[in-house]
Amino acid sequence: MNQLNKAEKIEKIQCFNEIMESKVEATPDAIALICEGKKLTYKELNNKVNQLANYLQKQGIAPEVRVGICIERNLELVIGILGIIKAGGAYVCLDPAYPQDRISFVLEDTQIPLLLTKNNLKNHLPKTNIPIVCLDTDWEIISQESTDNPDKKLTPDNLAYIIYTSGSTGKPKGVEITHSNIWYYLQAIAKVLPITEN
């Protein structure tokens, strides 16, 4: 009975940006991303993410502010998502394969003040007055920002991202995921699939 009722040690809940920064500090030169023949170490990834995060904070991105991101699955998508999170915002993924009507619905429903994309996808997006930042053609400006970690303004209860349902039973619904939701999910995954440095 005691064995079954054994209390587990509860660790401090971390925001996703803190989890990432811990990994960068522990293994800066380990490979973090491999995509289409390109590799980034944790330090290289963190530097790019921090430049974007510091840029986004200057655009007014802060906790609970939603930011749209419409990019194919590649390095820029990861940098964009992590940059939004480290700026304090919450990302809203818009699959470039979505029809324009669905993208328009999500943009209106979330009331995002800023949209990240790439130059080749701008024409696919519906007409909007939302400011657009292209992570390829605007990177020269973004890369002028500091590579230092941005100010930490997040709590575990802050929003990390919003994911939309398919809408098969009506309009798509946005499901809000907090940093604590991500932390608990990662803890559960780590128990089943132990992850090593490699």
Q: What integer best gives the mean pLDDT of the chain?
A: 91
Number of domains making up the chain: 1
Q: What is the CATH number of the domain that holds 119?
A: 3.40.50.980
- Average of pLDDT values for 82-90? 97
What does pTM read for this prediction?
Answer: 0.89
d(CA 12, CA 18): 11
Task: Tell me if 198 is assigned to some domain.
Answer: no
Residue 63: closest CA among 87, 93, 92: 87
- Give the pLDDT confidence score for residue 110 in this predicted structure: 96
Number of helical (H) and strand (E) elements in the chain, helices listed first:
6, 8
Domain extent at residue 134: 16-192
Residue 116: closest CA among 76, 173, 150: 76
Contacts of 147 (CB under 8 A, 6+ apart): 46, 47, 50, 51
- Give the pLDDT confidence score for residue 3 in this predicted structure: 54
Task: Tell me if 3 is assigned to some domain.
Answer: no
For the chain, give the percent of residues with pLDDT over 70.
92
Task: Tell me if 128 is assigned to some domain.
Answer: yes
Stated as kind and residue range, the H or E segment containing 38 is strand 38-41
d(CA 18, CA 3): 33
- Give the pLDDT confidence score for residue 12 in this predicted structure: 82
Task: Tell me if 6 is assigned to some domain.
Answer: no
- Give the pLDDT confidence score for residue 10 in this predicted structure: 54
Contacts of 5 (CB under 8 A, 6+ apart): none
Residue 133, helix vs strand vs coil? strand
d(CA 78, CA 193): 22
Q: Between 42-58 and 75-87, two packed helices, what is the crossing angle to 10 degrees?
A: 50
- Please give the single-letter amino acid code of residue 32: A
Task: Tell me if 129 is assigned to some domain.
Answer: yes
Task: Tell me if 10 is assigned to some domain.
Answer: no
- Average of pLDDT values for 70-81? 96
Residue 22 in this model has a pLDDT that exceeds 60: yes
- Give the pLDDT confidence score for residue 93 in this predicted structure: 95
- Model pLDDT for residues 128-159, shown as the tens digit of each residue: 999 999 999 999 999 999 999 998 789 999 99
Task: Tell me if 5 is assigned to some domain.
Answer: no
Task: Tell me if 124 is assigned to some domain.
Answer: yes
Beta bridge mates, 31: 41
Give residue 8's pLDDT band: very low, low, confident or very high (50, 70, 90): low
d(CA 55, CA 87): 8
